[in-house]
Amino acid sequence: MTPLITRPFQLIARTLLMSLFLIGGISNSLLAWDPPAYGQNGMVVAHDELAAEAGRKVLAAGGNAIDAAVAVGYALAVTYPPAGNIGGGGFMVIRMADGRMAAIDYREKAPARANRDMFLDDSGRVVPGLSLQGGLAVGVPGTVAGLQMALDNYGTMKLKEVINPAIDLAKRGFPVNFYLSYALHYLNQAAAKYPETVRVFGRDGNPPKPGEIFKQPDLARTLKTIRRKGPAGFYQGKVAEKLVESVQAAGGIISLEDLENYQPVLRRPVTGEYKGYQVLSMPPPSSGGIALISMLNMLKQFELDTMDWHGADYVQVLTEVERRAYADRSVWFGDADYWPVPTETLLSMAYANTRMADFVWGKATPSEMVQPLGDAAMDSLKAVLRESEETTHYSVVDKWGNAVSTTTTLNWTFGSLVTVNDCGFLLNDEMDDFSAKPGVPNAFGLVGNEANAIQPNKRMLSSMTPTIFVKNDSVRYIIGTPGGSTIITSVMQVFLNAIEERMGIVDAVRMPRVHHQWLPDVIYIEPYALGPETIAALERNGYRVVIRSTIGEVNAIGWDPIFKGWIGAPDQRGAAAAVGY
Ligand code: DON
């Protein structure tokens, strides 16, 4: 960063901003050198500028936030193949200006022929990689049906009006940014066993370099079929046949009936309250909403705003809250259509207070004490969070105040690596989010039990936490992120930065993050997230601190009370972009 002294104008501007902040709680960025993206009539924040721009165009053409979100969803399926998708699933939390709210669940489902031991060998051990790559890893995709449900119930435009930007991007191509180029080069090598993936995304061994135009004619054709026939163009007919053929050739079990039977679900968001903000987030099959609200409830007994931000006390409180929520996640959370998730109990203050009863200042509560598990779970103490994680979040708000918070994924980077023959899109590896065996950690080091065991047609447990925060009946923040197990704690930290530390949303997103997930019993921190003295104090108190790569890519929006408009906060940890309208 350029030294302050050489930037007198910014210094003056920042001083002015600081006085505004002190007077009115400005939601502008005090630390960012570049001015934040501002939109008087709406805002779209997404993984890349092309996708965000697709959403802005729809807003400018008179569409509402839901129309724009569907446009962004389809555009990301073209511009961001590692995670944007039509071959995966996601969650969309909606809050309409008139107060209606919805949680659209288009999570993938286990195929009808799935069974709980499908990832175990004859001696009952989990076969490494089987739930992550190849046909068996693939859950029945939900995105096309889910986006349609959003549009039909809350949008104002027809599919053909919102899918066109994506078709153009696929047909005419777009200049590949550095990150995508890098990812496609990686994919070209990693997917050697999947020739269709190498052909389409690796361009037969010649993946696009940064700045090169990347065209996807097969995907353009598939999207046109969807434009013509709606979801039937995906779940039935040629595309469906090709999908089944490709999955089965890669060893999978998805059938035409699985596709035909896929239905998204319109659910009610889980809700909570924190310091005057109403929290609306994703219910099961995500663990995110319940865990977020229960952690915020546990935090109510502490005065975070009086503690040093990222000092030893602050980090201890976050860690102990997270440890307890994630311990409970492993036992009680699963697809509520198949398992009785005790949602009300977990959201209650009685639960939060009981859970924190054994908290002791200055002393770690070891994870074994929080929820004793068997040997297998203890093995997971050795598990280390992997570094490459791909999912994507986009946030949209319109001039009427309708808001959309969507997280969508193929699970791991490029999903199962299986591309549907001649159709130009990748399939997810979401089956890994099930608990392949009780107590054995998945790719995110998360352990699960009976509640998240594989059953035919069941949805696998998720951590995706698309969330909207409302105050005085108006949307104030839209927050969400990728990051697997770190999603829930990232959403919480951004919100806490804004509320407790009174950071503008840009800074709230930018600040370094920390994470604990019960097992393994370590505090993960981004580089420079904690000072050496804080780390030393935590270690004296029984905590283990591990520096890892960046955590999440939060794409958020905040309301600006001064200008009465919207600030976009794309995360600098990725190629994210905010486009105001
Ligand atoms: O649903 C989930 O929790 C995971 N499949 C999300 C994966 C993810 O966030 C990977 N990326 N960053």
Catalytic residue among 391, 419, 481, 534: 391
Distance 137 CA to ligand 1 centre (A): 14
Task: Kindly state the tokens that stand for 298.
Answer: 């546990």
Nearest atom, ligand 1, residue 553 CA: 12
Q: What is the pTM of this model?
A: 0.92
Nearest atom, ligand 1, residue 552 CA: 12
Collapsing DSSP states into helix, strand and coil, what is residue 405?
strand
234 belongs to a structural domain: yes
Q: In whole angstroms, what is the distance from residue 53 CA to residue 44 CA?
A: 8
Residue 369: predicted pLDDT: 86
Domain shared by 137 and 61, yes or no: yes
Distance 138 CA to ligand 1 centre (A): 14
480 belongs to a structural domain: no
Ligand 1 neighbour 429 (Cβ under 6 A): no
The pLDDT tens digits for 365-410 are 999 888 533 334 323 323 333 344 579 999 999 999 999 999 999 9
**Bridge partner list, 38:** 567
DSSP characters for 63-93? --HHHHHHHHHHHHHHH-TTT--SSSEEEEE
Ligand 1 neighbour 482 (Cβ under 6 A): yes
Domain shared by 22 and 73, yes or no: no
Ligand 1 neighbour 389 (Cβ under 6 A): yes
**Bridge partner list, 453:** 435
Q: Which segments of the chain have a pLDDT < 70?
A: 1-33, 371-389
What is the total count of domains within the chain?
2
Q: Which of 499, 495, 505, 523 is nearest to 565 (CA)?
A: 505
Residue 19: predicted pLDDT: 41
Q: Greatest CA separation found in the chain?
A: 69
458 belongs to a structural domain: no
Q: Which of 433, 467, 481, 483 is nearest to 109 (CA)?
A: 433
**Bridge partner list, 403:** 95, 397
Nearest atom, ligand 1, residue 483 CA: 12
Main-chain phi, psi angles of 121, to 5 degrees:
-90, -175
| Residue in 393, 428, 464, 553 to alter for ligand 1 test, most ligand atoms within 8 A of Cβ | 464
285 belongs to a structural domain: no
Q: Which CATH number is 334's domain given?
A: 1.10.246.130
HEC-encoded secondary structure of 486-497: HHHHHHHHHHHH
Distance 385 CA to ligand 1 centre (A): 12
Domain shared by 28 and 53, yes or no: no
Closest Cα to atom 6 of ligand 1: 484
Domain shared by 417 and 525, yes or no: no
Distance 363 CA to ligand 1 centre (A): 31
Closest Cα to atom 2 of ligand 1: 462
Q: What is the DSSP letter of 559?
A: E
Ligand 1 neighbour 484 (Cβ under 6 A): yes
411 belongs to a structural domain: yes
Ligand 1 neighbour 441 (Cβ under 6 A): no
Say if residues 512 and 529 touch (Cβ distance below 8 Å).
yes
Domain shared by 372 and 513, yes or no: yes
Distance 314 CA to ligand 1 centre (A): 27
Distance 98 CA to ligand 1 centre (A): 31
Distance 402 CA to ligand 1 centre (A): 26
Say if residues 139 and 428 touch (Cβ distance below 8 Å).
yes
Domain shared by 134 and 50, yes or no: yes
**Bridge partner list, 42:** none
Number of C-beta neighbours around residue 379 at 10 A: 16
Domain shared by 70 and 161, yes or no: yes
524 belongs to a structural domain: yes
Collapsing DSSP states into helix, strand and coil, what is residue 20?
helix
Ligand 1 neighbour 463 (Cβ under 6 A): yes
Nearest atom, ligand 1, residue 412 CA: 10
Domain shared by 60 and 141, yes or no: yes
Cis check: omega of the bond before 466, within 30 degrees of 0: no
The amino acid that residue 133 corresponds to is Q
Domain limits at 350?
4-40+273-279+290-387+464-474+485-580
Distance 34 CA to ligand 1 centre (A): 30
Closest Cα to atom 8 of ligand 1: 484
459 belongs to a structural domain: no
Domain shared by 117 and 154, yes or no: yes
308: exposed, middle or buried (Cβ count in 10 Å: 0-12, 13-18, 19+): exposed
Number of C-beta neighbours around residue 182 at 10 A: 14
Nearest atom, ligand 1, residue 432 CA: 5
Ligand 1 neighbour 493 (Cβ under 6 A): no
Q: Which of 454, 519, 462, 487 is nearest to 130 (CA)?
A: 454
Residue 33: predicted pLDDT: 64
Domain shared by 182 and 258, yes or no: yes
Q: In whole angstroms, what is the distance from residue 442 CA to residue 377 CA?
A: 11
Residue 371: predicted pLDDT: 58
The number of C-alpha atoms within 13 Å of 169 and in the hemisphere containing its C-beta is: 27
DSSP characters for 133-190? SSGGGPPBP-HHHHHHHHHHHH--S-HHHHHHHHHHHHHH-EEPPHHHHHHHHHHHHH
**What is the number of helices (H) and of strands (E) in the chain?**
20, 19
Domain shared by 214 and 137, yes or no: yes
Residue 390: predicted pLDDT: 77
284 belongs to a structural domain: no
Q: In whole angstroms, what is the distance from residue 264 CA to residue 104 CA?
A: 7
Phi-psi region of 276 (alpha: psi -120 to 50; beta: other; left: phi over 0): left
CA distances from 177 to 33, 143, 183, 209, 218 (A): 23, 25, 10, 8, 21
Say if residues 394 and 47 touch (Cβ distance below 8 Å).
yes
Domain shared by 48 and 191, yes or no: yes
Instruction: Tell me whether residue 408 is one of the annotated catalytic residues.
Output: no
